Amino acid sequence: MLARVANNLFWMGRYIERSEHIARYLNVNYFSSLDAPNGLSQSRQFVLHSFLFMIGEPENDPEKVLDEESVLFNIGLDPDTYYSIINNVKAARENANGARDLISTELYEAINKFYHFVLNYSPDYFVKQGLYDYTMNVMERTAILRGKIRGTLLHDEVYSIIMLGVNMERATQIIRIINSKYHDAILAQDNYSDKMSTSFEWSTLLKCAESYDMMRRFYRKTPDIICTLEFLVLNDNCPRSVMNSLNQVSKHLHTLDLDKNPKKNSTAFLAGKLRSEIEFMNVEDIEKDVKQFIQRILEQLYQISKRMEEEFFKY
């Protein structure tokens, strides 16, 4: 496979996954805030600030009053913001175009329909009453794409590279969402003495990762910080966990690099190292310094992705 095309496939996977997480973050936070148990979590401003924090453009002045419609437009449909959902979908389609001869007609058609859906979505309707409809559609369409990727492609290098993109992005987004909700939980604790360990924000966090129901089933209790982090970071059976994503990354890297003993500092080596590190981590250690943990993991994910580019995608 061409290195350039592999790069396209990898980023197609990443952008699809990214648009899903952003959409869900908007959806879950906005709608759970409506009947949140404490005043801050219920505050619209709190939610809007949280949106900006999550997509990586935090508003430094926490007192600044944000305009709901413009924040929603910025993140949902603004063609001029690099982080908007519409631009993520555009980028996914552009990358699919670059690899069009390698992916199935069915997958391409689904991406293309997705693209036309966001392109034709009325911004006015979206900011006034379309938030639920639009974000649900984005989530559903990404689920369709995931199905087409799994169901219509040969499970060979092409599939592995897309899945590498999907899982690298998933691990990254889960960490970013944890970061964002952890930040919110601290704010809620400071302002409303919403107790950190049992903050309302942990439920929201789990829902943002589509893992709330599974977590309830697994622990049979109300989410607290320990079990939430444990579930989203360490539980290898949770399909959204960092651990699970890294397991997938290692598995798919193996398809590309058949070396049983990966060379030092190869992508497989770096990914395997992070994977083992997390495998033998316990949640109490994470909880001691969540911020530091988040920074470290993000940095290591970045290094893996960078190494991957040098190793496979250079053209």
Partner 1 sequence: MKAKPKNSLFSSYPQKPELFDEVFEEGGNIKPIYEKLLYLYGEHSIKDYVNLNNKAKSSFFNQGITFQVYDEEKTQEKIFPFDLFPRIIDPREWDIIESGAIQRSRALNLFLQDIYHDKKIIKDKIVPLELLASSANYLHQMMDVDPPGGIYNHISGTDVIKHADGNYYVLEDNIRCPSGVSYVICNRTALKRALFGVFNHYNTYTVTDYAENLLQILESVKPHGVDNPNCVVITPGMFNSAYYEHSYLAKAMGVELVEGRDLFVENNFVYMKTINGPEKVDVIYRRIDDAFLDPLEFRPDSTLGVPGLFAAYRKGNVCLANAPGTGVADDKAVYTYMPEIIKYYLDENPILNNVHTYHCSRPDELKYVLEHVDELVVKPVDEAGGYGISIGNKLSKSEIKQVQEQIKKEPRKYVAQPILSLSVHPTYIDEKESFEQRHIDLRTFTLLGKDSEFVLRGGLTRVALQEGNLVVNSSQGGGSRDTWVLKKDD
Q: Quick check: helix, strand or coil at residue 282?
A: coil
Q: Are 34 and 182 in contact (CB under 8 A)?
A: no
- Is the Cβ of residue 181 or residue 252 nearer to partner 1 in the bound state? 252
Residue 92's alpha-carbon distances to 7, 48, 86, 142, in angstroms, are: 12, 26, 10, 11
Distance from C-alpha of 10 to C-alpha of 29, rounded to nearest angstrom: 29
Q: Are 92 and 111 in contact (CB under 8 A)?
A: yes
Instruction: Report, in Å, the least distance between residue 262 CB and partner 1.
Output: 15
The token duo for 191 is 């302002």
Instruction: Report, in Å, the least distance between residue 100 CB and partner 1.
Output: 4
Instruction: Report, in Å, the least distance between residue 46 CB and partner 1.
Output: 36
Q: Are 13 and 166 in contact (CB under 8 A)?
A: yes
What number of CA atoms fall less than 13 Å from residue 292's CA on the CB side?
Answer: 5
Q: Could you list the residues that contact partner 1 (CB under 8 A)?
A: 1-6, 94, 97-98, 100-102, 105, 108-109, 112-113, 116, 157, 161, 256, 312-315
Instruction: Report, in Å, the least distance between residue 113 CB and partner 1.
Output: 5
- Is the Cβ of residue 294 or residue 308 nearer to partner 1 in the bound state? 308
Instruction: Report, in Å, the least distance between residue 51 CB and partner 1.
Output: 27
- Is the Cβ of residue 9 or residue 55 nearer to partner 1 in the bound state? 9
What number of CA atoms fall less than 13 Å from residue 297's CA on the CB side?
Answer: 29
- Is the Cβ of residue 42 or residue 81 nearer to partner 1 in the bound state? 81
- Is the Cβ of residue 155 or residue 314 nearer to partner 1 in the bound state? 314
Instruction: Report, in Å, the least distance between residue 267 CB and partner 1.
Output: 11
List, as own/partner pairs, every contact residues 144-147 make where C-beta atoms lie below 8 angstroms and the sequence separation is at least 24, other chains included: 144/110, 144/114, 145/16, 145/107, 145/110, 145/111, 145/114, 146/16
- Is the Cβ of residue 96 or residue 209 nearer to partner 1 in the bound state? 96
Q: Are 69 and 44 in contact (CB under 8 A)?
A: no
The candidate with the shortest Cα–Cα distance to 87, out of 70, 99, 103, 75, is: 75
Beta carbons within 8 Å of 44's beta carbon, 6+ residues apart: 33, 68
Distance from C-alpha of 161 to C-alpha of 305, rounded to nearest angstrom: 12
Instruction: Report, in Å, the least distance between residue 214 CB and partner 1.
Output: 34
- Is the Cβ of residue 280 or residue 315 nearer to partner 1 in the bound state? 315
Beta carbons within 8 Å of 216's beta carbon, 6+ residues apart: 223
- Is the Cβ of residue 34 or residue 258 nearer to partner 1 in the bound state? 258
